[in-house]
Structure 1
Amino acid sequence: MSVDGEAVRPDGEADEPGWEVDPDDEWGVAVITMVGRQLKLLREAAGLRAAEFGALVGYGEDLVYKVEAGKRIPRREYLVDADRVLNANGVIEATWEDVKRVRYPKKIRELGKLEAKAIEIGIFECNIIAGLLQTSEHARELIQARQPPYSPDDVERMVAARLARQSVFDRDPSPSLHFVLEEAPLHRQVGGTMVWRKQLERLLELGQLHNVTLQVMPTNTDAHPGLDGRIELMKFPDGTAVGRSDGAFGGRPITDPKQLRILELRYGTIRAQALTPRASLAFIEQLLGET
């Protein structure tokens, strides 16, 4: 929306046109530097100073310089407004296709690429709800709780990245997705009653998908191989696989078949000890009724 032709943004957003660039992300740095250089050339060709341009798009001069220097990842709204102000006929707005691929942290992008290729994903979580299953509100509460705290801008960036990974549920053909969650985190009402109810409802919704298996590991069970941390396994169409466990192989991703068999054995044992999918959904429904 606008008033008298001037951009109006939510409180605080005028000072936050994008996210900081990770200097260790070579591809991301290259893309954002290229976009920033293009913005600067078009601004100068239009005869606008940085302060004048910033006033027209609703951002401060200092942040305009940061975007043009490739030190800040612009949001889509920034590029759309810049395209309009500079009469770029869609040239600047089109750069969003490249920018959106690098707006998330490198590690999350790499994980998302693997998940997008996998035909089978198995995850065991012992302390939190798995990221692929989280609502935006729940994810935000978890990320905000980290210490040292992230800036509000970084929090939103990480929430967006986590939600983007959930496109795995929309893939066609659908991958097989298996989740085992410890019972204890299901009792922790992160974010308050309403946020927690939405999270439980989300679990029930996803647990009923034809390609999703959701199980709960009850707290009154015997010891199991997942007590020392998270386990994730991904299998790909070419027969290869990758896995990682907090409590094995130094927590590093592994591809060696012998090591993968160890993780598969542990994950299989965990699934065998957990409640059945039907009993797990009934348990979550009971929790929802008590919330």
Structure 2
Amino acid sequence: YSLSVAYQPSDDLNLYGRYATGYRSGGFNGEMFGSNPFFEEKVNSWELGVKSNLLDGRVRANASVYGYVWEDIQTAKIETDNGTATSGLVNAGEADRWGGELELMGAVSDSMVVGFNYSYINGDFEEFPDLCGVDPTIPCLDGTANAVRSNSPGNQYSAFTDITLARLGNGEISAFINVAYSEATPENALWSNLVANDVFPRENPAQIMDQRTLVDAQIAWRDIAIGDGMLTVTLWGKNLLDDDYPNYSINFGALNFITEQYGDPATYGVDFTYEF
């Protein structure tokens, strides 16, 4: 369910608050996990924010703060048995998170719009399963103390500029550039990699997704009248700085290898779009 409250003191200002609950269904694991089930996860969340138009609508400013309590989290777990790796989902306790977002966008002139976005998130796990070996007399590793927030950079920024370069008798030429930055973040909350008959609990070092700065840009000739339709020709480029960054990784620990997948390198192309 959700409960929302909004107050609009003027045509250009809106204040709001929201409280909501949600869930993700449970299921069953295959492979070496047999029919072991994982259970429903639940979230209780709140958000407070403001949306506004300023300077006769030439500037838009939106901001919000939020928090949530995440229970019975479904998280991936890697295990190995006799040299064979397998994965599955387990319920990983509870996490408390909070953060905020800011969005600014303004019309510098009739031909230029600029924008800026910022997001922040904080919080780790309040509860996480311990890592144990096969010998019950040997203490387990404290999962709550070692687990970290994963795939959630603490700080992310982006800025863009959208410019109309020329207005022609047949269409217009525009340019767009976007710069996005993300801090480094662990790929997974906690890797346990138990080899068959391991007496001691085993924790693999977290694989870190590097910080990255991605620059995308395009220049387009729009609304070219051809016949009964309109043609747009767009020259674009992605990751123009050719940033070399991983977007997924697994440390297989005792198997003595690490896998990583990387984002696309600098990529360029031309699009032709005809609407009729």
Q: TM-score, normalised by structure 1?
A: 0.20
Q: Bigger radius of gyration, 1 or 2?
A: 2
Q: Name the structure where strand makes up a greater proportion of residues.
A: 2
Q: Name the structure where helix makes up a greater proportion of residues.
A: 1
Q: Which structure has more RCO (C-alpha within 8 Å, separation ≥ 6)?
A: 1
